[in-house]
Chain A
Amino acid sequence: MKSQRLKIIGVTLTLFALALLAISLFAREITHQSDLLDEQVTALENDQAQQAQLNQLKKVITRTKEERDQVASYYIESQADSIDFLNYIETLADESFVDLVTKSASEVEKGKDKEKVTSLEVKYLVTSSLPAAERFIKLLENIPFVSEITGVTLTQKEAGEWTADITIEVVILNHENNS
């Protein structure tokens, strides 16, 4: 009698546990599939809405390629570009008849987060007459690079001879920061 009772209780409990397990698994799987479907439907709706814009964007990208390349070309992008920049300035100095010494070149960062700009900061010492130094400074301000002269100190050494301590910063192209 007792063993029969235990058997009945055992069977009932097992059946109940199996039923609970089955329904909870099903419910979980259905919720998951339903979320997935919701996500897919939303993505497809967004895609349909974006389709026309995407086509337009592609046209703009194709049409403005030259201009975008032109804009990017004013930036220093790699180490090779930095060397080209330094060589370019030295050539400019030779052509302007000024004596140029590169005192230092280093990378500097300004701004925070999305506004962060990385630049190559170069310090020069120029020795020449005052008009030549001024001409050279003017040339530096008009070089085909995204740059700015951040400091100039003109000092008279001897009669007619001046030195100019010039600090120039050239912006380095950094896609991640600029986006």
Chain B
Amino acid sequence: MTNLIPPAAKKKVVFEYWTRVVCAWGVLWSVCILVGAFLLWPTYVLLTGNNSAYASFFSAASERSDEYEELSKQLVVTSLQAKQIVELSNQMKLSDVLSDIWSVTDQDVIEVDKLTIDRDEAGLAPIVISGNASDRKSLAAFRDELQKLEYVTNVELPIKNLAKNEDINFSLQVLVKIEKK
């Protein structure tokens, strides 16, 4: 029967037909999507209901968590402070080093003019002692005595200090073991 329709009109009818088919499918899909959205409504209501029910518990839990963190922090701070105090008290005392140096210095033959002790990152920096020795033998003895100290690793006495035999102005470096920090 469609063959009875003139070709120009037939084209319009086919176009009209397909337009309506596409629109019908579009409406059908829209209805399906809207039904789908409607079906999500109970899930949404359930979730919002649960969230508002948990909200007060959550806020209290957050406060407790903050309190927990704050209290933990206080203890950590005190532990670090105590650790620092112990570390400092375990450090080699400069007054003890001084006492040891004086105890091995024979004041009759060695006259110390200047003594420098500094701390560095590793512990004690080399100790610098300068002064005057009555003779080479007593200076060598002084160096040996310093070398005997428990924490001394080496005593550096430049050769030029030993050029003279008597009345020697010296400057020596005492190297100290590295302290564990």
Contact = CB atoms under 8 A, between A and B. Distances in A.
Interface residues of B, number: 62
23 contacts: A8-B23, A12-B22, A12-B26, A13-B26, A15-B26, A15-B27, A19-B29, A19-B34, A23-B37, A33-B44, A37-B54, A43-B65, A64-B78, A67-B78, A134-B98, A134-B99, A151-B117, A152-B94, A153-B114, A153-B117, A156-B112, A156-B114, A178-B80
Contacts of A175: 77
Given A43-B65, A68-B74, A179-B77, A37 B95 contact: no
Interface in A102-156: 117, 134, 137-138, 141, 146-156
Interface stretch (B85-93, B138-146, B154-162): B85-93
Interface string B67-88: 1100111111110111011001
Contacts of A149: 94, 119
Contacts, number: 172
A83 interface: no
Given A16-B30, A20-B33, A146 B84 contact: yes
Given A16-B33, A153-B116, 11 more contacts: A40-B55, A53-B68, A54-B64, A74-B81, A134-B99, A147-B88, A151-B119, A153-B114, A156-B112, A179-B73, A179-B80
Query: Which 3 A/B pairs are nearest by Cβ-Cβ distance?
Result: A47-B61, A19-B33, A33-B47
Contacts of A30: 40, 43-44, 47
Contacts of B44: 26, 29-30, 33
Interface in A32-91: 33-34, 36-37, 40-41, 43-44, 46-47, 50-51, 53-54, 57-58, 60-61, 64, 67-68, 71-72, 74-75
Given A29-B44, A47-B64, A22 B95 contact: no
A125 to B, nearest CB: 14
A166 B60 CA distance: 54
Contacts of B74: 61, 68
Nearest to A130: B102
B153 interface: no
Contacts of B73: 179
B119 A19 contact: no
A53 to B, nearest CB: 7
Contacts of A101: none
B150 interface: no
A57 B44 CA distance: 40
Contact of A23 (B36, B58, B76, B98): B36
